[in-house]
Amino acid sequence: MPPASKVELYAAIRRDVRAGMSARAIERKHGAGRRTIVKAMSSAWPEPRKKLPPRGSKLDPYKPVIDEILRADLDAPRKQRHTITRIYHRLMDEHQMADVSYPVVRAYVAERKPQIRAEAGRGPAEVFVRQSHRPGDEAEVDFGEIVVRLAGEDVGCFLFCLRLSFSGKAVHRVSLSGGQEAFFEGHEHAFRVLGGVPAGKVRYDNLKSAVAQVIGFSRSRVETDRWTAFRSHSLLTELAALFSQFTGQVAGELATVSARVRRRDDGSGSGGAGRPAGRRAGRDWQPLGAIPAA
């Protein structure tokens, strides 16, 4: 069986040389040339492959034109800035561009646009900040409408979703009502399925089931009386509910989880505990606080 990699080939050649095999026999055995044998004896690690110079693109002559358009758009009114389609047609009409596809232009504009904004001091390039959560410490909750098909008819229901932040483990419950009772029952169901209560914070959006009013520019929240009473109930004594606007990542993750359940719901209305979250879910469950007795 021939060696699977160049490193293994070098090791086999060096081993055969030490065993006293002739160069000609090694060439026949491994199908390698004399130059390869010399390199293998000089170093056990193959030389890195030389990087080829970047290939030219048919778009290269038009890249300065695209850059100039993007720089001009920095000071143009929002409605008058160039779309990628407009840039593509201008290159063909005004600069006789040919044999360059639209996806090539689109890819270059997507790469250069944030770079030009950063070069002009119009804001840093977009970055991604990875979120970090401790096991069993935090969760997010969403509660919204869902349409399920029952007996051949579309029926409007409500989906409760509680998702542990560390593992992504989610618990769902579908109900016919969107009232506070269903909202509270969703919490109790989720804590029973998970076997405990998050030790830290549970984040909510401005759900009507819990927030009575958002006050002015301060964005402070006035909780409903029933939610305050429910939160003070023994089941939630260890919970610190945090009403704040979700970050884009958290809101997107919850929307993705809820959309997946909406697509997969079989109309039974049972909701369920969602997809397994793997080994991280086991680490998430261990630090959960115990559910106090009613």
Which of 66-80, 186-200, 222-236 has the highest average model confidence (pLDDT)? 66-80
205 pLDDT above the threshold of 70: no
Residues above pLDDT 90, as percent of the chain: 19
Residue 276's pLDDT is 46
- Angle in degrees, CA 162, 203, 177, rounded to 5: 50
Residue range 139-285 in CATH 3.30.420.10: yes
Alpha-carbon distance 159 to 173, whole Å? 6
Query: What count of other Cβ atoms lies within 10 Å of the Cβ of residue 228?
Result: 14
CA dihedral sign, ordered 173, 175, 177, 180: negative
- Greater confidence, 213 or 269? 213
Model pLDDT, residue 124: 66
CA distances from 206 to 42, 199, 203, 258 (A): 68, 22, 10, 17
Max Cα–Cα distance, the chain, nearest Å: 90
Residue ranges of the domains in the chain?
6-42, 60-119, 139-285
Helix, strand, coil fractions of the chain, as percent rounded to 5: 45, 15, 40
Instruction: State the pLDDT at residue 112.
Output: 93
Residue 48 clears pLDDT 50, i.e. is over it: yes
Residue tagged 């115990």 (tokens): 290
Considering only residues 2 and 72, tell me which one the structure prediction assigns the higher pLDDT. Answer: 72
Q: What is the DSSP string of 194-240?
A: HTSB-SSEEEE-S-TTTEEEEETTTTEEEE-HHHHHHHHSGGGTT-E
Whole-model pTM: value is: 0.46
Give the end-to-end CA distance of the chain in Å, rounded to a whole number: 68
Looking at residue 72, what is its pLDDT? Answer: 93
Pair of tokens at residue 51: 């990087």
Region 57-83: mean pLDDT is 92
